[in-house]
Amino acid sequence: MYELTIGHFYPDLLNTYGDLGNIIALKRRSTWRGVKVTVKPIGLGDEFNSEEYDLVFLGGGQDFEQEIIQEDFLKNKGKELRKAIENNLVVLAVCGGYQLLGKFYRTANNKEIAGLGALDVWTIAGSKRMIGNILIESELLKKAGHESQVVGFENHSGKTYLGPKVKPLGRVIHGFGNNGEDNFEGAVYKNVIGTYLHGSVLPKNPGLTDFLLTLALRKKYPDFSGLQKLNDDYEFLVRKKLINRLSGKGHWLLKHFF
């Protein structure tokens, strides 16, 4: 039987907009296929040994929570996490977690707060809050054989820009994305995905969940041939309604279902 160990960074502090749902989705879609999953919280002061984990998750938090964990994250866990990322550890980082993996965050007062530098991205404080439902088109998921459209909810004022060493997770169809300017959302580097999509993003997007699980299982088990197909009819219907609504194809759905 296949087994996965998932590390959840600061679950008590970084859990904005129900990001715990991402862990639940990863665990449920694994266990439904007979894959045993162990979830380990990684909190303040805890040692982080990347070899213990097959996938790690870093959620979003308000500025207050990010300040609490910043020193511990950068000084105590950062070097090990950077090394693990270069060795293809599978990582999902959402909103504040996404920003922390970047080079820096520049505040409205022009103060630069250092990030981990694991991703070639940087964030600058904006004057306008980018909030609402979002729909993107992901070539990465399409190439991997999954549904290419990803839905979620974003709420951030930081504007993130991508350097040449990363690729976007997708192009924005509806919403703001990384910065509301270049039509890009998220960043991909090796087996790391950073995104502003809350909501939680994985329960709304089974294909993205399965993509991450596949990366982790293939890295751990050379003989892994692929995930068993699940019945996602219900998820497909819900997603279809939301996608139609956000892409402008379903105004009648707004009247009848929302």
> What confidence category does residue 195 fall into, taking pLDDT thresholds of 50, 70 and 90?
very high
Which residues face 189 on adjacent strands? 192
- 21, 95, 182, 204, 206 from 257: Cα distances, Å: 23, 29, 32, 17, 22
Token duo for residue 148: 């290419």
Phi-psi region of 138 (alpha: psi -120 to 50; beta: other; left: phi over 0): beta
156 catalytically annotated: no
256 catalytically annotated: no
Over the stretch 27-64, which tens digit does the pLDDT of each residue have? 999 999 999 999 999 999 999 999 999 999 999 876 66
Q: Which of 8, 95, 146, 156 is catalytic?
A: 95
Report the C-alpha dihedral over residues 36, 42, 48, 53, rounded to 10 degrees.
20
Is the Cβ–Cβ distance between 95 and 16 less than 8 Å? yes
Mode of pairing for the β-strands spanning 3-9 and 55-58 = parallel
Q: What pTM was estimated for this model as a whole? A: 0.93
Model pLDDT, residue 257: 36
Domain spans in the chain, listed from the N-terminal domain onward: 3-257
Over the stretch 225-256, which tens digit does the pLDDT of each residue have? 999 999 999 989 989 999 999 987 644 333 43
Q: Which of 146, 174, 198, 251 is catalytic?
A: 198
> Which CATH superfamily does the domain covering 3-257 fall into?
Class I glutamine amidotransferase (GATase) domain (3.40.50.880)
C-alpha closest to that of 186 among 197, 176, 194: 194
Residues 46, 44: Cα–Cα separation, whole Å: 6
Does residue 95 have a pLDDT over 90? yes
